[in-house]
Amino acid sequence: MSAPIIWVLIPFATGVLILFLLGERISPLIAGAVAASLAVVALILPIDTAMLLGTISVKIAPSIQFFGRTFALNTADRPLLAIIYGLAALWFFGTQASGTAHRFVSLGLMIVSLLTASIAVEPFLFAALLLNMAAMLVIPLLVPLYQRPGRGIIRFLIYQTLAMPFILFSGWMLAGVEASPGNIGSTAQAGVMLGLGFAFLLAVFPLYSWIPMLTEEASPYATGFLLWALPMFTAVFALGFLDRYAWLRESPQFSNAIRFAGALMAASGGIFASQQKHIGRIMGYASIVETGLVVLALGLASTEVVNIVFLLLVPRGLELAVWSLALSIIKRKAYSLQFSEIQGMARSHPAAAAGIILAHLSMAGFPLLAGFPPRTALWQELAGQSLATSFWAFLGLIGLLIAAFRTLAVFVMAEENKAWELNESWTQRVMLGLGALGLFVLGIFPQALQPFIASLPALFSRLSQ
């Protein structure tokens, strides 16, 4: 048995079987159990080390050949695999509470397995192809059967597809730059091509117009899953580029460009969020701000880049899961999710309203919530490098905070004689309660992530030096 079979082939095959054989009631439990089991296996079983099970010796091989390409997962990848499949399990267990179709869990497992393969594939440039394949699978996840895709979905697919040739071509050029690093013209061209590729993948300003469109058109839960999964793996892919090519991480011009793009993304996303009257679009702009902070972290000239990036990415999965689940519950009552439709819903759906506000405040960096410690770490590093960049990024968080208070005001704006009710099901209340508890635990005890984060810099050893 090899590691890629366990963490790539098994979840993909499970997703296919769920799609064709299982019904809506049991499929979320099966998918969640499989993802949680893979997370536990990643924590406890070593890779490329013999183990004794009674009288039997078992060894998980680190690599496998497939169509002439090597897929390898080593011991250093285990914490990352545990984070990926642990967060995926959270999303799958919440599927039934969100009322999402059962194909979400099957396609979700296949998407996560393809994205995991993008980490494992060698040469690593082929990760761009696997990311594009995962983007293709997102389309049936977002578009119901017999329904035409909206503008946001079409624009998402176009941008993800355009990213692939830029990244592949830049990889070919980077090979030439390694051979002759003194060629300034080739270096600049490779940097521009690479920047354009990741701008499309990460939806850097002004290429993020599809995100608020998508949060308005598609299922909130499926959209939230997309906004967690693809940026997370793209950030890992970007860290691989920075780790592999010394001139990228040592170039002050390239670092300044990354920080500028991240600050512009965070500031514009927060400002636009503060002007919205649709809570689905607000979630989209909040995810844009969060991605902008990740891009900012990628541009830091610091040995703490890897730690800060993952400190931002892990709470993001929990925040978006709570937010999108609560949106899915409210959308059953107020289909448009406009402020005029959700007015006073804190009295009829208090658990869902509280989930939205807590997740929103966490992404705005409110103290005692999961988003506060990573933003503090980012500011500590960023303040010593560029105060102007810190200001614009902070402006984005202020915009998110304004949007959160506007949303809260609309939720509680009800008639005085309107009774308080609890219309969420017990499953929905349990999932939202656990998610809210997780937001407070990660905010008050951020050291809970230390066992997972501590060994991740080993994946990108040159960045941590």
CA-CA-CA-CA torsion for 196, 202, 206, 212, nearest 10 degrees? 150
Residue 140 near residue 111, CB atoms below 8 Å: no
pLDDT of residue 404: 93
Residue 407 near residue 282, CB atoms below 8 Å: yes
Angle at 314 between CA 308 and CA 319, to 5 degrees: 120
Question: HEC profile for 106-146?
Answer: HHHHHHHHHHHHHHHEECHHHHHHHHHHHHHHHHHHHCCCC
DSSP helix, strand, coil percent of the chain (3-state; round to 5): 75, 5, 20
- Report how far residue 142's alpha carbon sits from residue 279's, in angstroms, rounded to the nearest whole number: 18
- Report how far residue 390's alpha carbon sits from residue 58's, in angstroms, rounded to the nearest whole number: 51
**SS3 at position 321:** helix
CA-CA-CA-CA torsion for 188, 191, 195, 197, nearest 10 degrees? 110
pLDDT of residue 432: 92
pLDDT of residue 53: 64
pTM (predicted TM-score):
0.91
The gap from C-alpha 113 to its chain's centroid, in whole angstroms, comes to 15
- Residue/partner pairs of 85-89 with CB below 8 Å, 24 or more apart: 85/7, 85/11, 85/35, 85/36, 85/38, 85/39, 85/42, 85/112, 86/35, 86/36, 86/39, 87/228, 87/314, 87/317, 87/318, 87/321, 88/35, 88/112, 89/32, 89/33, 89/35, 89/36, 89/39
Residue 350 near residue 377, CB atoms below 8 Å: no
Which is it for the CA torsion 106, 107, 112, 114, positive or negative?
positive
- Report how far residue 88's alpha carbon sits from residue 112's, in angstroms, rounded to the nearest whole number: 8
* Full pLDDT tens readout for the chain, 465 residues: 788 888 889 999 998 888 887 767 788 888 899 999 999 988 888 877 777 666 676 777 777 887 777 888 888 888 889 999 999 999 999 888 887 767 888 899 999 999 988 888 877 777 888 888 888 888 888 887 777 888 888 899 899 888 888 888 877 777 665 555 555 566 677 778 888 888 898 888 888 989 999 988 888 999 999 999 999 988 988 888 888 777 777 778 888 888 899 999 999 999 999 999 999 999 999 999 999 999 999 888 778 888 899 999 999 999 999 999 999 999 888 778 888 888 888 888 899 999 999 999 999 989 999 999 999 989 888 888 888 888 898 999 999 999 999 999 999 887 777 778 888 888 889 999 999 999 999 999 988 888 888 888 878 877 766
Q: What residues pair up with 70 in beta bridges, in sequence order?
A: 65, 122
Q: Which two tokens stand for residue 439?
A: 């937001």
What phi, psi does 254 have (nearest 5°)? -65, -40
Nearby residues of 210 by Cβ (< 8 Å), 6 or more positions away: 151, 152, 153, 155, 156, 159, 203
- Report how far residue 232's alpha carbon sits from residue 298's, in angstroms, rounded to the nearest whole number: 12
- Report how far residue 174's alpha carbon sits from residue 177's, in angstroms, rounded to the nearest whole number: 5
Which is it for the CA torsion 316, 318, 320, 323, positive or negative?
negative
pLDDT of residue 185: 62
Burial code of 338-356, b = ≥16 C-beta within 10 A, e = fewer?
Answer: bbebbbebbbbbbbbbbbb
- Report how far residue 399's alpha carbon sits from residue 271's, in angstroms, rounded to the nearest whole number: 5
- Residue ranges of alpha helices (H) inside 300-384 are 305-331, 339-342, 350-363, 372-383
Residue with tokens 């990108």: 460
**SS3 at position 385:** coil
Burial code of 260-271, b = ≥16 C-beta within 10 A, e = fewer?
Answer: bbbbbbbbbbbb
- Report how far residue 307's alpha carbon sits from residue 389's, in angstroms, rounded to the nearest whole number: 20
Angle at 96 between CA 151 and CA 285, to 5 degrees: 35
CB atoms within 10 A of CB 135: 22
pLDDT of residue 464: 65
